[in-house]
Structures are given as C-alpha cells and as structure tokens.
Amino acid sequence: MIPEKLKVAETLAEFRGQYAYNLLDGNVRAFAAAVAQINQWDDHEVTNNWYPGEVLTDARYTEKRLDVLAERAFQAYHEWVPLDPRQAVDGRVYRKFGYGPHVEVFVIDMRTYRDVNSANTAPLERILGAKQARWLVDSLDASKATWKIVASDMPIGVNVPDGTAWEAVANGVAGPPSGREAEIAWVLSQLRHRKVRNVVWLTADVHYTAAYHYAPERASFTEFDPFWEFVSGPLHAGAFGPNPLDATFGPQAAFVKAPPVANTSPLDGFQHFGEVEVAPGGGELTVTLRDITGAALWSTTLDAAR
C-alpha cells in the first residue's frame, strides 16, 4: 500500500499515486511491456459516472467540484498514460490512427463533452459534443481505410443506469431518438447519407462480453445502415450483466456471456477481451470474443462492402 491509496483521490499527487500503485504489480508491468495500448478517458480516471459540472455529495470528498477533480486527474492521466496530446484533435483525447491501407481507428471521448446524467429524454442531449460529433463524421467520411473502427468508451444500445438517471447513450425508451440518442442518430444518419461503409464499433464500460447487431428494420429510428457493436469487458474487475437493450436503433444480441450474479469476482472467470483481425487485402474482418485464458467464446467474419 502507498499513502495515496488510503483515501479517495482528490489532489494531483493522489491521482498520480493511482497510476504508480497499479505498476507495483508485476503482471500489470508485464502486460504494459508486451501489449501496445490506445487509451481512452472515462469515468474511473476521476470517479464513478461523473459528468462535467457535477458537484459531489459523497462525504469522503473535501473537494466536491468534479470539474476541479477532473482537471487534476487529467493531468495525471497525461503524465502516466502513453498519449501524445499533439495527436489529439483538441489536445485532450479524441484522435485517429491509421494501420496501413485497410484499418483506421477513431478514438472518441464520451466523458468530457457530455451533458449531465439525467432522464436523457430531452429533444437533444450531448455525449460527444457538437464539435467531436462533426469531427467523427467528417473523419470517417474522409478515411480511405477499408475498415473504420470506432473505439467507443460506452455502448450505443445498452441501457446503462446511473441511479435514476442514465449514464450512456440509451434511455430505456423504445421510441424515436431522444436525449443523447439524438446526437448518435445524427452521426449514424450522416454516415448513411455520405455512404460511409464498413464502420465497426468496439466498446466496453459494461462488465460482460457481447456482440450486438443493429439494423433499421428492427429499429424505431431507421435512417442508418446496419452495423455491429462488439462489447468486451472487464479485463480485471467485478463482472455483471447483461444489461437490457434499448430498441431505438434495433440492437439484437448475437452472443452474450455474463456472470450469474452481479459483481462476480475476477477469480470466477468472467473476464474477457476481444481480438480483431483483418485479412490480407482487407476483404474480411474477423472478431473473436475471448475469455481470460484466451479461449474463443464466439467469432464472426464480416465481408467488406465496396
């Protein structure tokens, strides 16, 4: 144990200490040495389910302004996590990476620019923010890669509650897009209008693994092309789920593996990761969902639309 782990993180030194503490573990150091990483910014870099402007009521915190805590946490994040701010669009997190002619990865940030966690049913609420949403659409449209991979920190059609509010995109209402769904609906409809093909979403946040297919013929909102969203988590945390699906974008589960009870220990084996492989020539993309031993749980191969 180190002093910075004896209480909730509030100061810059305490946020730095969270990263130092993790690297005391030899397995974490070995993983970092062996596996290249593209890191995203989400809630647990600060505190659970936070949003800009939030004021904490948790008695453990002396500094209760999340905007203050988030800035300190973000400085520690940039000091400890391999992320070049010069590659980020606004110097923070969202950015893109090319991997040869067939793959481009678009890393988005669903934390920094969101509106408050709420009932999520206003005509339009933000989870990307207008600037990032436009960047995502324009960048996907401009991409010459065969496969466009959106690395999203939260799922689209999975209901993720935050007490009586909502934490992710979905709002549990199986109707036309509202709240944050309206912003994602704009993104999806723009991709259809611009004929952007072969967009695949990879996400986490929820603590189980799943493959979801979205299609307009099953949806309340129909102005989008079918797409896949692959969920994989956790890598080392209590497991729970599966979460219910919101019908607005017509998700259908092709595969789900979740624990029998909430907060199942990592020792019980419900830890997961995913693997994506693009065939030579780029014509096929294979996604395999795996357990912590590396054993394949489910796999599918997608053919590129030309």
Q: What tens digit of pLDDT does each residue of 231-288 get?
A: 999 988 999 999 999 999 999 999 999 999 999 999 999 999 999 999 999 999 999 9
Write the CA distances from 45 to 77, 167, 181, integer angstroms. 8, 16, 25
Residue 196's pLDDT is what? 98
Residue 195's pLDDT is what? 98
Tell me how far apart the alpha carbons of residues 44 and 250 are, in angstroms, rounded to a whole number: 29
Residue 290: band (very low, low, confident or very high) from pLDDT cuts 50, 70, 90: very high
Residue 10: band (very low, low, confident or very high) from pLDDT cuts 50, 70, 90: very high
Residue 104's pLDDT is what? 98
Asked whether the beta carbons of 233 and 207 are under 8 A apart, the reply is yes
Residue 86: band (very low, low, confident or very high) from pLDDT cuts 50, 70, 90: confident
Residue 99: band (very low, low, confident or very high) from pLDDT cuts 50, 70, 90: very high
Global pTM reads 0.97
Would you mind telling me the total number of residues written for the chain in this entry?
306
Residue 112's pLDDT is what? 97
Domain edges within the chain: 1-83, 88-303
Residue 226: band (very low, low, confident or very high) from pLDDT cuts 50, 70, 90: very high
| Phi, psi torsion values for 197, nearest 5 degrees | -105, 165
Residue 306's pLDDT is what? 82
| Mean pLDDT of the chain, nearest integer | 96
Q: What percent of the chain lies above the pLDDT cut of 70?
A: 100
For helices 12-22 and 66-80, what crossing angle results, to 10°?
40
Residue 87's pLDDT is what? 87
Tell me how far apart the alpha carbons of residues 62 and 68 are, in angstroms, rounded to a whole number: 12
